Amino acid sequence: MKEKDSGKEKMGEKKIYITPIKEGTAIDHLAPGAALKILEVLDLKEFPVTAAMNVGSKKMGKKDLIFIEGKKLSGKETEKIALIGKGGTLNIISNASIVKKVQLNYPEEVSGIIRCINPKCISNAEGIPAKFSIKSEPLKATCFYCETRMNENEIINSIK
Ligand SMILES: [Zn+2]
**Distance in Å, CA 153 to ligand 1 centroid:** 16
Asked if residue 78 and residue 41 are part of one domain, the reply reads: yes
**Distance in Å, CA 137 to ligand 1 centroid:** 21
Virtual CA dihedral for 44, 50, 55, 60, nearest 10 degrees?
Answer: -50
Residues 116-145 pLDDT 10s = 999 999 999 988 999 999 999 899 999 999
Element at 152 (helix H, strand E): helix 152-158
Q: How far apart are CA 60 and CA 90, in angstroms?
A: 16
Q: How confident is the model at residue 17 (pLDDT cuts 50, 70, 90)?
A: low
Asked if residue 113 and residue 99 are part of one domain, the reply reads: no
* Domain limits for position 51: 3-103
pLDDT at 44: 94
CATH number of domain containing 117:
2.30.30.20
**Distance in Å, CA 104 to ligand 1 centroid:** 25
Q: Residues for the chain: how many in total?
A: 160
Average pLDDT over residues 98-104: 94
**Distance in Å, CA 40 to ligand 1 centroid:** 23
- Ion ligand 1: residues, CB < 5 A: 116, 118, 121, 143, 145-146, 148
| Prior bond of 138 cis (ω within 30°) | yes
CATH number of domain containing 90:
3.30.70.140
**Distance in Å, CA 75 to ligand 1 centroid:** 22
In this predicted structure, the answer to whether residue 19 has a pLDDT above a threshold of 80 is no
**Distance in Å, CA 115 to ligand 1 centroid:** 8
Q: How confident is the model at residue 39 (pLDDT cuts 50, 70, 90)?
A: very high
In SS3 terms, 62-127 reads as EEEEEEEECCCCCHHHHHHHHHHCCCCEEEEEECCEEEEEEECCCCCEEECCECCCCCCCHHHHCC
In the chain, how many domains are there? 2
**Distance in Å, CA 102 to ligand 1 centroid:** 30
97 Cβ contact list (under 8 Å, min separation 6): 3
What does residue 124 show for φ and ψ, rounded to 5 degrees?
-85, -40
Average pLDDT over residues 21-48: 95
**Distance in Å, CA 146 to ligand 1 centroid:** 4
Average pLDDT over residues 33-57: 94
Q: Which of 56, 74, 103 is the last residue of a domain?
A: 103
Q: Amino acid letter at 65?
A: L
Q: How far apart are CA 11 and CA 91, in angstroms?
A: 22
Q: Amino acid letter at 74?
A: S
Asked if residue 43 and residue 72 are part of one domain, the reply reads: yes
